[in-house]
Amino acid sequence: MNPERRRLLVGILFALLAVRFVILPWVQVQSDARERLEVLTNRLDRSVGVVQNRDAITLTLDQLKKTNAQERVKFPESKDTGSFQLEAQQRVTATIEQRSLRIEAFDWILDGVPDPSGIGYIRGRISVRGDQRSLGLLLGVLEGQFQSMVVREAFFNFEYPSRGGSETRTTMTLVADFHFRRKAPP
């Protein structure tokens, strides 16, 4: 191999080493710096924005706290879905049993994961047997007691065609969503 070719190969070797150990790491560092600068710029923009709207932010926060507090009381608070299932089942069962009605089935068929604001729900299917009048009242009582309950389906099946007599034996199947509010961590 002649000296000129050897010099050329050594030059190419050094060039490749420089690219691998100097240029590429340098470019990577610049890419990281670009991302940090972008984050910093966004933070600065937000900071300038909140300082300029200081009064509006304070006022809005106070108003929202008041209005949300009024709405929150309609949603039972619970630390998690499991606890709320237990609590809701106890309350519904107690309401039904107070009216001497018989629960034939009580299943939780769906858990709605709480959204970022903490509002979640569980969906239950309840089957109750009793006289027509008591079951009709039960539906109204449940809707009144559980303000966050949304009835999705209700089915009344009469033992024989009902002409309005209150004693007709009836089976009610109710599918309802019970909404709750996840308790904020301390």
Partner 1 sequence: MMSFLQNHLTGIKSRIIAALRLRLIWVTRDRLTFNSDAGTQFGLVAVIGREHYRERRKRYPVASRAELARVITMELGGQSSVFWRIGPLVDNAREVQFFELSSALDATPPRAFFWLPESLVLSLALGPTDIATIRRGEFSYFLAHNGVNQVRGGAIVSPLFFRMASGSPLEGCDHELVEADAIPFIETGLLRLRIEDWWSFRGIEWRVAVRESWRPVVALMATATVLYLGAVSAYFAVTMAWREFQLERLGAEVTPLLQAQREIDLLVAERGSMQSVFQTRVPAWPMWEVASTVWSAGGAITSLSFDDGAVIVNGSAPSAVKVLEAVASSKGISAAKFESGVRQSSNLQLFVIRAKLDSGGAR
Cα distances from 111 to residues 82, 88, 176, in angstroms, run 9, 13, 12
Burial class (CB in 10 A: 0-12, 13-18, 19+), 180: buried
Options 84-92, 94-102, 103-111, 116-124: segment touching partner 1 (CB under 8 A): 116-124
Options 56-64, 84-92, 93-101, 103-111: segment touching partner 1 (CB under 8 A): 56-64
Q: How far is C-alpha 150 from the geometric centre of its chain's CA atoms?
A: 16
- Give me the 73-102 binding string for partner 1, x by CB under 8 A, dash otherwise: -xx---------------------------
- Does position 34 interact with partner 1 (CB under 8 A)? The reply is yes
CA angle 99, 103, 107 (to 5 degrees): 135
Strands 169-182 and 77-78: parallel
Residues near partner 1 (CB under 8 A) are: 15, 23, 26-27, 29-30, 33-34, 36-37, 40-41, 43-44, 46-48, 50-51, 54, 57-58, 60-61, 64-65, 67-68, 71-72, 74-75, 115-119, 136, 139-140, 143, 148, 150-158, 161-164, 179
